[in-house]
Copies of this chain bind each other. A is one copy, B any other.
Amino acid sequence: MLSTGKGSISLYMQIRDMLVSKVGKGEWLPGSIIPSEVNLAQELGVSQGTVRKAITELVESNVLTRRQGRGTFVSMHNIDRALFHFFHISDNKGHKVLPDSNVLQCRRKPATRIESSKLHLEAGTSVIRIERMRRISDKPTMVETITLPADLFADLVEGGGYELPNTLYELYEQRYGITIHSADEQLRAIAASKHDAKILNLEAGTPLLEIERVALTLDRTPVELRVSRCSTRNHHYHNTIF
């Protein structure tokens, strides 16, 4: 199982990759506990330190979460992760507030050229397109257009039998078994269209911050395209460079 030859990669990396695949395949589900370090070490015939090093890397990349005295768990999407990890808008005092969400549209449509390119789909594949308006402290602040491959999110069209929650990544995980692990964002300044302007209650042409996010699973498959247009009168996008 584990190769220990000369040209092979190190033990802990093999173990790390094996653990990743257990999570990736859904063998270990988000929120569940994984075997203890000692147990894994015994099963794999290596020392605890080696398993430990493998797990440490996965904790650093947010795949696993350690809780002292309790065990190691597969990371889950929750409101904290949404807020502190995937949401980068703060008010001008530096405070983060998760916006509420107001769905304007939710339709199944053929993918545009841009959508199919960003999501690695064949041209014209069916996608689900959600448009929503988000308020922060009761003020309309963002217009979002979210595009999902229809085959992965089959019943997520209007009348899917439930209301769309505010934090979508939790939904993707719990209902569709799709865990967002990372994302690439491109930011630009654009002028508000008439449509944007109407929804955000400002004048057409007002500069807006456009955030184009492609969200990826653990194996780096793109599964969501999200274009957010934000008024930056009272808010800004915050990034820390370490």
**Which residues of A are at the interface with B, using a C-beta cutoff of 8 A?**
60-62, 85-86, 88, 90, 182-191, 205, 207-210, 212, 230, 232, 236-242
Contact = CB atoms under 8 A, between A and B. Distances in A.
Contacts of A207: 189-191, 207-208
B240 A183 contact: yes
Query: Which 5 A/B pairs are nearest by Cβ-Cβ distance?
Result: A207-B207, A188-B232, A189-B207, A189-B189, A187-B237
A184 B238 CA distance: 7
Contacts of A61: 242
Contact of A209 (B184, B189, B205): B189
A236 B187 contact: yes
A64 to B, nearest CB: 14
Contact of A239 (B185, B209, B230): B185
| Max count, chain B CB within 10 A of own CB: residue among A85, A88, A236 | A236
13 contacts: A61-B242, A85-B241, A90-B186, A183-B241, A185-B239, A185-B241, A187-B237, A188-B236, A189-B190, A189-B207, A189-B209, A189-B230, A190-B232
B189 A232 contact: yes
A183 B241 CA distance: 5
Given A183-B240, A187-B209, A239-B239, 17 more contacts: A62-B242, A86-B241, A182-B240, A182-B241, A184-B241, A185-B238, A185-B241, A187-B236, A187-B237, A188-B209, A188-B232, A188-B236, A189-B189, A189-B210, A190-B207, A190-B232, A212-B236
